[in-house]
């Protein structure tokens, strides 16, 4: 069924046959909301495509909050498989809207919101939430997750602002500074953390109660986090005097040392502000959502206030050195390069028979997911805008896969080799007109990889230099799952690669991912040829380089590799 048909089928099964459905709101994620009306009844439909979102956490957290005495929406009906929920309609009176017309109520509403946080802090901390016969486990919002989040700034905002990637050395320095700062939080006063507790997710219900929305990302974390989320709001300015008064009120109600709590508040505030600045940049660069860019000046203002605290002095020095300008204006984002990629998917897959008797190799599934989907998802996550896929064997199945794909990222074009298989080099050359004038990625479609501390594609892009014509992702030969060959390259101290030649072994093999200049194809044949021709020529020029992968890598080159890769990915 189409998505529209799925929705009306769900409403019919839920007793809302014939209901009127009107758009209500979008979301920074893939979720969207509709208001559903039937006679005198109202409800809200959450539409969360299951390939991107899981509706179970929302249900589990909602039920927990209701039991704790908070006014989360009741769940009327659920269809987890199709990502659909029908929930209570708590109205339209979000704090932001109410305070635009009644600014005098700010203290009243914010105090009530903080009272609800105090109520949450006084609940017994639990990481397992039962729901509709299942259990949902909350993540711990600790050092690792907090460091991952601040890297959104280094990996997305910094290149959006400057037009260049932050070097690995500077990125590591940034992470180390944050690790030192976060360690000052000390033993955490932990509680249930909603994470998006702000003026557009809180509702004035008109009866002295407030409603809570958008809490599916809840975690167990520091008790200051939701207070920061409320008082340092990306979408509205909170009176600074009210902020200080409410910090004292919250700390006093929970018997916290005020001086220590204010230090924790500043650290959590800076971490959250940096994360949001990075998220807003990513929403634009990766997802094409530019309406968040105008919020950057407010976020920078909040961050600079937090950085004045002595506990953050070293970080303030880093920001003043690396990002000294353009904090008070909406971000005029620079493009992220490389922004195009070629996926080599036109092989015959003979070694994968019988799995490829009726299925092209790129569409073989590992853990219920096509090999090609792994590659496309990685490209989307790294901000690549356009992917070109060549096709040859059973090309109509590749067409069908692309038509069924619901994620619009990246934009996909097909290069048809149905009449003649062009080999790896010839296939790329045939598609050059689709790949632009700048360096681009080339990826094989028969491997799966997991990232280390930093996304592999972004690491390649960060390490790319003017003296390179090709930069390959290298796999240490002994760590290559599903590949028992002799290896391909030796690497010198500067990262230059040299072919194994007559040597029995080489330390590294080419991992099927690289960045390459289109100029490498000048003077190459118009007939089928292998990329090995270009590798050899680039090596002779001293412009062939490699970067060693710091995560795991799996080659799916024969039928047995499907099962073994699944087991390795599951940690067995």
Percent of the chain, pLDDT > 90?
Answer: 85
Interval 122-131 mean pLDDT: 90
Interval 339-349 mean pLDDT: 93
pLDDT tens, residue by residue, 391-410: 999 999 999 999 988 778 89
Report pLDDT for 164: 92
Task: Please list, in sequence order, all residues whose beta carbon lies within 8 angstroms of the beta carbon of residue 405, skipping any fewer than 6 positions away.
Answer: 373, 376, 412
Decide if pLDDT at 418 tops 60: yes
Decide if pLDDT at 572 tops 60: no
Report pLDDT for 229: 97
Determine contact, residues 358/396, Cβ cutoff 8 Å. no
- Tell me how far apart the alpha carbons of residues 52 and 286 are, in angstroms, rounded to a whole number: 15
Interval 409-433 mean pLDDT: 96
288: left (phi over 0), alpha (psi -120 to 50) or beta: left
Decide if pLDDT at 28 tops 70: no
Asked whether the whole model's pTM tops 0.85, one would answer: yes
What domains sit in the chain, N to C, each tagged with a CATH number? 3-88 (3.30.200.20), 95-322 (3.90.1200.10), 340-569 (3.90.550.10)
Structure tokens at 75: 């769940």
Interval 517-534 mean pLDDT: 97
Interval 47-60 mean pLDDT: 90
Query: Between these two residues, 60 and 26, which has the higher pLDDT value?
Result: 60
Decide if pLDDT at 4 tops 80: yes
Interval 422-435 mean pLDDT: 97
For 123-204, strand residue ranges (E) read 128-131, 134-137, 139-140, 190-193, 202-204
Q: How confident is the model at residue 190 (pLDDT cuts 50, 70, 90)?
A: confident
Report pLDDT for 42: 95
- Tell me how far apart the alpha carbons of residues 121 and 366 are, in angstroms, rounded to a whole number: 43
Decide if pLDDT at 523 tops 70: yes
Interval 197-202 mean pLDDT: 96
pLDDT tens, residue by residue, 146-189: 999 999 999 999 999 999 999 999 999 999 999 999 999 977 77
> pLDDT averaged over the chain?
93
Query: Facing residues of 463 across strands?
Result: none
Report pLDDT for 453: 84
pLDDT tens, residue by residue, 262-284: 999 999 999 999 999 999 999 99
- Tell me how far apart the alpha carbons of residues 317 and 83 are, in angstroms, rounded to a whole number: 45
Length of the chain: 572
Interval 428-439 mean pLDDT: 97
Decide if pLDDT at 372 tops 70: yes
Interval 348-364 mean pLDDT: 92
- State whether the Cα torsion 212-217-219-225 is positive or negative: negative
pLDDT tens, residue by residue, 284-318: 998 888 889 999 999 999 999 999 999 999 999 99
Report pLDDT for 253: 97
Decide if pLDDT at 49 tops 70: yes
Report pLDDT for 203: 97
């Amino acid at each position: 069924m189409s998505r529209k048909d799925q929705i009306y089928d769900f409403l019919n099964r839920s007793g809302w046959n014939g209901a009127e459905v009107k758009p209500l709101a979008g979301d920074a994620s893939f979720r969207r909301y509709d208001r559903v009306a039937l006679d005198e009844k109202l409800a809200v439909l959450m539409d969360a495509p299951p390939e991107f979102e899981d509706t179970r956490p929302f249900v589990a957290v909602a039920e927990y909050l209701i039991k704790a005495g908070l006014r989360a929406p009741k769940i009327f009906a659920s269809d987890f498989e199709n990502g659909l929920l029908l929930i209570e309609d708590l109205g339209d009176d979000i704090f932001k809207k109410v305070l635009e017309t009644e600014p005098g109520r700010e203290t009243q509403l914010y105090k009530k919101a903080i009272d609800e946080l105090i109520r949450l802090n006084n609940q017994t901390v639990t990481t397992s939430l039962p729901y509709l016969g299942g259990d949902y486990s909350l993540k711990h919002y600790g050092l690792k997750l907090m460091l991952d989040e601040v890297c959104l700034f280094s990996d997305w905002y910094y290149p959006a602002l400057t037009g260049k990637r932050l070097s690995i050395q500077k990125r590591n320095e940034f992470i180390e500074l944050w690790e030192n700062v976060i360690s000052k939080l000390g033993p955490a006063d932990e509680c249930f953390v909603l994470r998006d507790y702000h003026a557009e997710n809180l509702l004035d219900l008109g009866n002295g109660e407030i409603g809570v929305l958008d809490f599916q990302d809840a975690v167990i974390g520091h008790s200051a986090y939701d207070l920061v989320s409320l008082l340092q709001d990306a979408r509205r300015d909170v009176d600074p005097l009210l902020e200080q008064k409410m910090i004292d009120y919250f700390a006093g109600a929970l018997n916290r040392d005020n001086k220590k709590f204010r230090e924790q508040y500043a650290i959590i505030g800076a971490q959250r502000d940096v994360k949001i600045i990075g998220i807003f940049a990513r929403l634009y660069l990766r997802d094409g959502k530019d309406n968040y860019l105008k919020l950057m000046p407010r976020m920078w203002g909040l961050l600079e206030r937090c950085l004045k605290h002595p506990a953050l002095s070293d970080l303030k020095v880093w920001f003043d050195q690396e990002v000294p300008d353009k904090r008070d204006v909406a971000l005029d984002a620079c493009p992220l390069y490389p922004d195009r990629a070629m996926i080599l998917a036109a092989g015959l897959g003979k070694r994968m028979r019988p799995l490829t008797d009726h299925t092209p190799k790129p569409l073989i599934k590992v853990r219920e997911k096509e090999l090609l989907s792994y590659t496309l998802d990685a490209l989307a996550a790294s901000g690549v805008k356009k992917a070109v896929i060549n096709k040859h064997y059973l090309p109509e199945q590749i067409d069908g896969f692309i038509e069924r794909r619901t994620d619009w990222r990246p934009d996909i074009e097909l290069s048809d080799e149905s009449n003649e298989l062009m080999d790896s080099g010839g296939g790329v050359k045939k598609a050059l007109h689709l790949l632009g004038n700048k360096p681009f990625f080339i990826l094989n479609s028969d491997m799966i990889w997991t990232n280390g501390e930093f996304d592999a594609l972004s690491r390649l892009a960060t390490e790319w230099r003017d003296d390179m014509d090709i930069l390959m992702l290298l796999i240490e030969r002994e760590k290559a799952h599903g590949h028992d060959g002799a290896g391909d390259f030796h690497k010198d101290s500067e990262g230059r690669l040299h072919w194994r030649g007559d040597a029995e072994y080489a330390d590294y093999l080419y991992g099927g991912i690289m960045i390459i200049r289109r100029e490498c194809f000048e003077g190459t044949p118009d007939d089928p040829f292998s990329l090995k021709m270009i590798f050899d020529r680039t090596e002779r020029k001293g412009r062939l380089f490699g970067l060693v992968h710091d995560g795991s890598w799996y080659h799916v080159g024969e039928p047995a590799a499907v099962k073994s890769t699944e087991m390795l990915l599951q940690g067995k």
